Structure 1
């Protein structure tokens, strides 16, 4: 098993909270990580997509009460929302006997629904963690360029060739469209949602315009918004919010939209290899989204992510509001000789961030003037992660 950067935080959370909810898209490695943790802690694993395991929970309270002395792992728990009130009662019962932590590890692939279900029933009893696909920090034995091309889903990244990786991603997309997505809401035609998903890939990093998406798809704005909400809920898309604090400027207030895994973006666009990627019009926006996802995944708990833009052209690709009210301003460049834009300097003058970086594909770290440093993605991700450990 490749060590995951969330392994130790997950162990720590189970030592402190009665229940931990591990969120992440399908095939990101949640089950593998949970089984590894369960093996270490002596846990019991139940897959709620398995008829056999669901049968064990025909009388859930009676079954789970027999296992109050061990960690119970419930995979795809969103399939059985009726469990949450029962878990609350069992957690409270165990608390009265002095067992206040490490009872349940809940795994789910749909963020909003699971947050709502568990939040209502397990308020004050559950901690949430998100497992992303592999990041640049994790020891996969794949370089950054390969991670960018293939994305971080384990079976895609670790494939023996780019061709095998692309086949896996195409199968993954098809399975999501035809089998997984219908489980989470009203029936949506697979071909319609594929077209929508592909449109988002073409608009990687662009300001979100739901009305334009609706017109292109031939549906009303409400329907297009529902499709987008679904992809965000499934942790496949991100709406990066604009910085909203009043700085005396006319701020851009429209979120930017990114597909969260670069490999899926490339598969939707038919990009098969490094040469095709570097020559594609989406390459710059794809690299930007890839960098943003890796840095957010590496940042300390409690970090808030935004972009900053004004009508006058001041712009910051990623603004990290770190715990303790520190701000880091990050511009993303694909050039090996990076130079920050004038708009980046103007935005930094507006906000006066504590640190200023330009992330680029090279390996050396060097100053660019006016307090700005050029840095590789891996080095900056590691710096953010080490802040988490110190915290």
Structure 2
């Protein structure tokens, strides 16, 4: 399956080393192997494979390989300084692609800076646009499918819902059991598994770590560390309140969403909101990675508890206000109010089951499927 990053990776490899990250099983290895197959003599090496690891540690790969792919090397000690040496000492013209399922710019390890030596790209699950284009189906059918299966390639392409659910159960337990050990101690795995499971039913609500700490018998400081680890492993992402002062926004309660929308425990409205969050984050990070744009994804919550699900920013200005509704096509009063307060921002109410689109003042009530399909990626 062709992915939205395929052409961009090819383009960037001609200029610099490319560091490709994203959730486990989101398609990084498939993308990498397709590129290797395109260039005769290229080589793929995965640090998790014993035979490959020996080649990596000895640096005995083919110097003539036009493309060298190194996967999961962030698990090495001092991987940054090691990679800097590899990048600087490679054969002239050799393309270098580095992939990993843990966020390689988080939990910084000791070593030399790689600044200026690479382009960073983040691969996300399938979107309405991708599924619609690849499967040649209407946007509405793509949205229904992704709400049911999630956007990871294997469950999305599975022949039955049962096969997709079996994949998801193994995926979630495997992530927490194995990958967490990269950043934490064995004794903490059970507590983190329970924490991650509790987050599944708290999607879309401001997250109180203090409340969860009482339920789990673990300090809120420890839970904050667990949340950082779950983000580093691309299991969840947080959306923070928008504020011109970044420090003030960081101190306020975030909302948590899952990269795999199929992991969400809740009604269809919550799962729809999670899917929209995934689409918006994907497009924000695409703009950050490919254009260096100063864009961000947030939500708005005021002191009187008025809230908008999402807002998009560029610099210190808001560009979009987004509210998610399952079937209510009546423009929400809070969205009307915020649209008046931020007249420069496009205000849109995305409706999963939209009977009729409408414009209510500055608020655009829109059918969610075609709106999501019209996003850049």
TM-score (norm 2): 0.85
Which secondary structure state, in structure 1, belongs to the residue aligned with residue 129 of structure 2? coil
Match of 1:70 in 2: 66
- Distance (Å, rounded) in 2 between the aligned partners of 1:359 and 1:105: 38
Residue 379 of structure 1, CA deviation: 2.6
Residue 201 of structure 1, CA deviation: 1.0
Structure 1 residues 98-113: aligned runs within 5 Å:
99=93, 103-111=95-103
- Distance (Å, rounded) in 1 between the aligned partners of 2:26 and 2:128: 14
Say what the alpha-carbon RMSD is for the aligned residues. 2.8
Structure 1 residues 116-127: aligned runs within 5 Å:
116-117=108-109, 120-127=112-119
Kindly tell me: are residues 78 and 205 of structure 1, through their superposed partners in 2, closer, same or farther at Cα, counting changes over 3 Å?
same
Match of 2:138 in 1: none
Match of 1:193 in 2: 192
| Residues 125-163 of structure 1 deviation map (CA, whole Å, 9 limit, x = unaligned) | 111111112221113536312211221122212222212
Which secondary structure state, in structure 2, belongs to the residue aligned with residue 121 of structure 1? coil
- Distance (Å, rounded) in 2 between the aligned partners of 1:261 and 1:23: 16
Which secondary structure state, in structure 2, belongs to the residue aligned with residue 143 of structure 1? helix
Match of 2:76 in 1: 80
Match of 2:19 in 1: 21
CA contact (8 A) 2:204 2:274 kept: yes
Which secondary structure state, in structure 2, belongs to the residue aligned with residue 16 of structure 1? coil
CA contact (8 A) 1:20 1:128 kept: yes
Structure 1 residues 117-266: aligned runs within 5 Å:
117=109, 120-139=112-131, 141=135, 143-245=142-244, 253-265=252-264
- Distance (Å, rounded) in 1 between the aligned partners of 2:278 and 2:111: 25
Pair 1:286-2:271 in alignment: yes
CA contact (8 A) 2:311 2:318 kept: no
CA contact (8 A) 1:135 1:152 kept: yes
Match of 2:364 in 1: 373
Pair 1:310-2:302 in alignment: yes
Residue 87 of structure 1, CA deviation: 3.1
Residue 365 of structure 1, CA deviation: 7.2
Which secondary structure state, in structure 2, belongs to the residue aligned with residue 110 of structure 1? coil
Residue 93 of structure 1, CA deviation: 4.5
CA contact (8 A) 1:252 1:309 kept: no
- Distance (Å, rounded) in 2 between the aligned partners of 1:252 and 1:224: 15
Kindly tell me: are residues 114 and 38 of structure 1, through their superposed partners in 2, closer, same or farther at Cα, counting changes over 3 Å?
farther
Pair 1:296-2:281 in alignment: yes
Kindly tell me: are residues 198 and 83 of structure 1, through their superposed partners in 2, closer, same or farther at Cα, counting changes over 3 Å?
closer
CA contact (8 A) 1:357 1:375 kept: yes
| Residues 302-326 of structure 1 deviation map (CA, whole Å, 9 limit, x = unaligned) | 2311111211344321111248966
Kindly tell me: are residues 309 and 210 of structure 1, through their superposed partners in 2, closer, same or farther at Cα, counting changes over 3 Å?
same
- Distance (Å, rounded) in 1 between the aligned partners of 2:358 and 2:269: 23
CA contact (8 A) 1:182 1:188 kept: no
- Distance (Å, rounded) in 1 between the aligned partners of 2:339 and 2:236: 28
CA contact (8 A) 1:137 1:378 kept: no
Kindly tell me: are residues 172 and 236 of structure 1, through their superposed partners in 2, closer, same or farther at Cα, counting changes over 3 Å?
same
CA contact (8 A) 2:331 2:360 kept: no
- Distance (Å, rounded) in 2 between the aligned partners of 1:36 and 1:171: 26
Which blocks of at least 5 consecutive residues in structure 1 are unaligned? 270-280, 387-391
- Distance (Å, rounded) in 1 between the aligned partners of 2:324 and 2:251: 19
CA contact (8 A) 1:252 1:310 kept: no
Match of 2:28 in 1: 30
Which secondary structure state, in structure 2, belongs to the residue aligned with residue 241 of structure 1? strand
CA contact (8 A) 1:73 1:106 kept: yes
Residue 372 of structure 1, CA deviation: 2.0
Residue 83 of structure 1, CA deviation: 4.1
- Distance (Å, rounded) in 2 between the aligned partners of 1:161 and 1:46: 33
Residue 88 of structure 1, CA deviation: 1.9
